[in-house]
Amino acid sequence: MTRRRGPRAFLSGLVARTRDLFLRRSADRDMEEELRFHIDMETDKLVRSGLDPAEARRRALVAFGGVERQRDRLREGRRLPFVEPLLADLRFGFRSLGRQPGLSLVAAVTIAVGVGATTTVFSAVNALLLRPLPLPGVERLVSVIESRRGEVSTGIEGPLIPYDRYLAYRDAAGDVFASLAAHRLDQSVALRLPQATVSVSGTFTSGDYFRTLGVQPVLGRTYASDDAAEAVLSHALWTSRFGRDPDVLGRTIGLDGREVTVVGVAPAGFGGTTLMASEVWAPVGVGARHNAGVRPTLPVVPLGRLRPGVPFERAAAAVDALARRIPPEENVTVQAARLERPSTLPAEARGPAGGFLGMLLGMAVLVLLIAAANIAGVMLARGFARRREIAVRLAMGAGRGRVVRHLLAESLALFAIGGLLGVGLAWLGTGWLARIELPPQAPPVLLDLAPDGRVLAFAALLTGLTGVLFGLAPALRASRPDLIPALKTGTAGSVGGEGGRLRALFVGAQVALAVTLLLTGTLFARSLQMGLRTELGFEPEGVVAATVSLGSPLDYDEDEGRAFFDELLGRVRAQPGVERAGLSRIVLVSGSSSSDNVRRPDAPDVPEVNASYTLVSPDYFETMGIEVLAGRGITEADVRGSPRVAVINRALADRLWPGEIPLGHVIEGFGVEAAEVVGVTGTGRYALITEQPRPFVFLPFAQVYRSSAAIHARAPGAEGATLRAIADEVRSLDPDVALGLSGPLPELIGFALFPQRFAAQLVGAFGLAGLLLAALGIYGVLAFHVARRTRELGVRRALGATRARVIGGVVRQGALIAAAGCVVGLAGGAAAAMAVRSLLVGIRPLDPLTFAAVPVAILAVALLASGLPALRASAVEASQALRWE
Amino acid sequence: MPDPNASDVLRGTLDLLILKVLSLEPMHGWGISQRIQELSDGLLDVNQGSLYPALQRLEHRGWIASRWGTTENNRRAKYYRLTTEGSAGLGAEAESWRRYTGVVDGILEAT
């Protein structure tokens, strides 16, 4: 007969069995009733044929073949093939854990630490890299990313293009985009409120921005035109500055010196499409530099919603073709364009952030592995202590598989509890992460770190996998059927020697992992220290910086702007405590930079070099402590109309004039046709602490004007007063001008180092946890060992071994395990350090001091951990051992 | 009393017989065993120990469905009925049974 069971039949069976699993009690009742009905009917039939009722019932029962057996068979049939025995085993596991609640709790907490660490870091990975933006139909949103060369600038959303160019895209790509908006996040917009003018992060957008994103305001409306004098507030700003006053609609506020009317409030949790949360939105026309009657020229990034049914690839090809067809502005070539899905992190940051978070995740996993190895050791010891019980069960015919399953279930039950606790820890951990204090001048970050389904699934999978992996070895070992010795009482001496070795292996592995963890952690901590001191190329201690942005040329033309900055600089220099002061277009190592290609007009065959630059006033080099290696810095002699000059750094000099001192030579770039190189500085850090050596150019502020600059003042010991004075002077000069990024320079740089600093803290905590666990492991294995050898030690003592010898023997064992672990750990640490060397600043990945200090520390801890068991061993008296039978 | 000549239902054919009986009308477990006896003129005796597991098996496979109902004597009983899938299954199983017995007959009659 054919018995084909299609997948559908299989599924319906599975569904029925699953339902039965949950409805077991009512299913049991149903079954009872059905069987009773059957017996009753059979009895009635027999009575009708003439038997007396008692006899009839007996026969009916006999014919039925045993109600109890039937019931069992039917129950068996209802079972899920795999889940139910597993649940039974787990119940068993929980019960046997309950017998040693103290030990079990410690073990569960150990696992919880590992799972908690891993899950916390994974939450960050999830929030930053995996989770899509919480916008409707987000999978159809795309940014247009151009590959541009020449004088280019990049916002946090991507490479910026002129507004006209965006319009050209919008007009030509109507067949692939349902709508194409434009946006640009400005991290410091001067927001004038009745009470004060504050610097906020604001986004200037095209009129169809909110429609494209599908974001509805919670109050009022959004704007729909590119240059209405209107603004939408973020929910956070509405709350903090207006106390959620619904009458905010219709009020007038100032944005970068322009009057706008508040027309709406964005929903809570919406902060635009980047990690930096926007606090206010306004049409591009508001943020653009207007020259009367000329179209807005604010640079933007296009952000569009694909038409339904248009595949991503087709849209990307269309956009790429357009990019080559639309003529670019002067000094720029556009090589290609691609589409990118908007994400919490900008695309170019995803790689580094991924590496960084991956490394943290790796460390957290190390903690988990150490914890799991620790538990495996405990389970092994437990299996050993129970070997008689196990042997009895094996002798009575229990299959080995069954015994292994039981022991494994115990591990799994432990990991289940630990995993749950760990998720609780992760909940606390992410809450703590979210509250971490960012420097006050840092733009607000909107990041939802709370664990979601993906995080929980990750935690469950990780816990289950680790539990099986580390539960299996002890279970297999403990169920090895060496029955005869185990059944004999008291022969504790020789049995399980191999179990002891396995346990030593686990402890050795813990030590190795802890060494790896501590090595990387220490490298990080030291890298942080070094990062502040070396290779910056300037001396941040005692310097404060404040960014002042004068806004549009309507407010300040070049002459007025220069007058403002000169006046401000003069007043700051006159402040008590200020030694020197100067201006720079940017604050170094604060993350921002602009670059252009620089060439030698006299040598066309020397390749162009892409260099970053800033504009500086006289005295800037002295204020910052930037050393000029050859020639001079920018001085009072460099004014408008005097010969154009530049100071370049060594990295650029080496590229354009290898092996020469380029004083007196000429460079071309940054819109300057010929600037004479008058000085060379060392190569420092300019945009990021972790950058590769970067060619850099200093041009005189007096010869190239920009409407925003950072005033730098060296005022050791008077940093706070100086910052307040700068703010006061700016306000007294013009209350509408807001301060942007400002603070003591070490703090501003600290912000750049924030990820490292944060990682160092986290890694330090991980390292400490790993070290403690490893010490516990060593202690556990030795203590157990000593307890098992009580008799042997007693005999030795009786035969004349000194206490010192006994202590030495035990400690040597601990030291051996630790030393072996150290060797492996050093290799692992070296590999890990090489893998993350791009994140290490000012320190070699194989830093000898670190690689010497960590093993020493671990060995010291190992010796300490062996001390207690050794003392206990030496206290064993000969008589004690002889009585011990 | 069971007929002394009655044989136990052959392994594997019980499912087929249950399906056939249920194709006539919905029926409770005891009724199914009685009906098989009747239809076989008392020659086939359903081993009651395998009846309920068979019903459970068929129900899990989705070929029969059950619901609680009342008998003529006003007792609660679980009634089974054939599902659409079950009647398709019955056709296929019957066909394959006929083919099988045909082949066995052919072999037995070979000279």
What would the DSSP string read from start to end of A440-498? TTSPPB----S--HHHHHHHHHHHHHHHHHHHHHHHHHHT---HHHHHSTT-TTTTTHH
State how far the Cα of A819 lies from the Cα of A855, in Å rounded to an integer. Answer: 8
Please give the Cα distance from A478 to A380 (Å, whole number).
Answer: 7
pLDDT grade for A302, boundaries at 50, 70 and 90: very high
Look at residues A115, A127, A857 and name the one whose alpha carbon lies nearest to residue A517: A857
- B55-64 pLDDT, tens per residue? 888 888 889 9
Q: Which of A702, A881, A707, A705 is nearest to A796 (CA)?
A: A881
What confidence tens digit (pLDDT) does each residue in A793-840 have?
778 888 888 888 888 888 888 888 889 999 999 999 898 888 877 777
Distance CA B83, CA A173 (A): 57
Mean pLDDT value across residues A863-867: 83
Question: Cβ distance A584 to A615 under 8 Å?
Answer: yes
Contacts of A311 by beta carbon, 8 Å cutoff, 6+ apart: none
In this structure, the number of other CB atoms found within 10 A of the CB of residue A32 comes to: 12
Among the listed residues A385, A390, A388, the one whose alpha carbon sits nearest the alpha carbon of residue A403: A390
CB contact under 8 A, A5 and B61: yes
Please name the residue of chain B whose CA is at the shortest distance from the CA of residue A60.
B48
Identify which has the larger pLDDT, A542 or A6: A542
Nearest in space to A84 (alpha carbons), one of A32, A12, A18, A10 = A18
Tell me which range, A57-61, A345-349, B12-16, B88-92, is most confidently predicted by mean pLDDT. Answer: B88-92
pLDDT for residue A5 is more than 90: no
Contacts of B28 in chain A (CB under 8 A): 34, 37
The region, left, alpha or beta by phi > 0 then psi within -120 to 50, assigned to residue A538 is: beta
pLDDT value of position A305: 94
- Residues of chain B in contact with residue A70, where contact means CB-CB under 8 angstroms, are 49, 52
The packing angle between helices A24-48 and B48-60, to 10°, is 140
Range of A613-627, B1-15, B47-61 with top mean pLDDT: A613-627
Look at residues A718, A713, A676 and name the one whose alpha carbon lies nearest to residue A697. A676
The answer to whether the CB of B108 falls within 8 A of the CB of B100 is no
Percent of chain B residues past pLDDT 90, beyond the cut: 14
What's chain B's Rg over C-alpha atoms? 15
The answer for residues whose C-beta is within 8 angstroms of residue B54's C-beta and 6 or more apart is B14, B15, B18
Using a CB-CB cut-off of 8 Å, the residues of chain B touching A13 are: 60-62
Which residue intervals of chain B are DSSP H helices?
A: 14-24, 29-39, 48-60, 84-108
Of A5, A33, A64, the CB nearest to B48: A64
Decide: residue A5, CB within 10 A, 0-12 exposed, 13-18 middle, 19+ buried. exposed
pLDDT, residue A293, reads 38
Find which of A29, A38, A79 to mutate to test the B interface (most B CBs within 10 Å of its CB).
Answer: A38
The helix (run of H) or strand (run of E) holding residue A824 is helix A803-835
Task: List phi, psi (to 5°) of B44.
Answer: -105, 130
H or E stretch including A629? strand A628-631
Q: What is the dihedral of CA A317, A323, A326, A331, to 10 degrees?
A: -170
Mark A541-571 as b/e (b = at least 16 C-beta within 10 Å). Answer: ebbbbbbbbbbbeebbeeeebeebbeebbeb
Please report the beta strands in A92-139, taking only residues with DSSP state E, as ranges in sequence order. Answer: none
Residues of chain B positioned with their CB less than 8 A from the CB of A33: 76, 78
Which residue has tokens 């620790």?
Answer: A374
CB A297 within 8 A of CB A134: no
Do A9 and B62 make contact, defined as CB atoms within 8 angstroms?
A: yes
* pLDDT for residue A866: 82
In angstroms, the CA A338 to CA A351 distance is: 18
Higher pLDDT, A825 or A335: A825
pLDDT recorded at residue A14 = 64
Chain A residues in contact with B85 by the CB 8 A cut-off are 9
CA R_g for chain A: 37
Q: Is the dihedral of CA A808, A811, A812, A813 positive or negative?
A: positive
CB atoms under 10 Å from CB of A853, counted, come to 14
Other Cβ atoms closer than 10 A to A771: 22
**Token pair in block for residue A529:** 């220290």
Most confident of A343-347, A379-383, B50-54: B50-54
Contact A64/B30, CB-based, under 8 Å? no
Tell me, what's the ipTM? 0.85
Query: What residue of B is the nearest CA neighbor of A38?
Result: B30
Q: Who's near B60: CB < 8 A, 6+ residues apart?
A: A12, A13, A16, A17, A77
Q: What pLDDT score does A182 carry?
A: 92
Residues of A in contact with B92 (CB under 8 A): 2
Interface of B with A (CB under 8 A): 1, 12, 16, 28-30, 34, 47-49, 52-53, 56-57, 59-63, 75-78, 85, 92-93, 96-97, 100
Residue labelled with tokens 């209350």:
A735
Confidence of residue A1 (pLDDT cuts 50, 70, 90): very low
Select the residue of A33, A40, A77 nearest B56 (Cβ to Cβ): A77
Mean pLDDT of chain A: 81
H-state helical runs in A294-341: 312-325
8 A C-beta contact, residue A551 and residue A257: yes
Q: Is A659 helix (H, G, I), strand (E, B) or coil?
A: coil
Helix A790-798 × helix A754-788 angle, to 10°: 60
Structure tokens at A595: 């670059």
Buried b (16+ CB within 10 A) or exposed e, A202-223: bbbbbbbbbbbbebebebbebb
Distance CA B55, CA B77 (A): 14
What stretch of H or E contains A95? helix A83-98
Distance (Å, whole) CA A170 – CA A158 = 18
Q: How far is B23 from chain A (nearest CA, A)?
A: 19
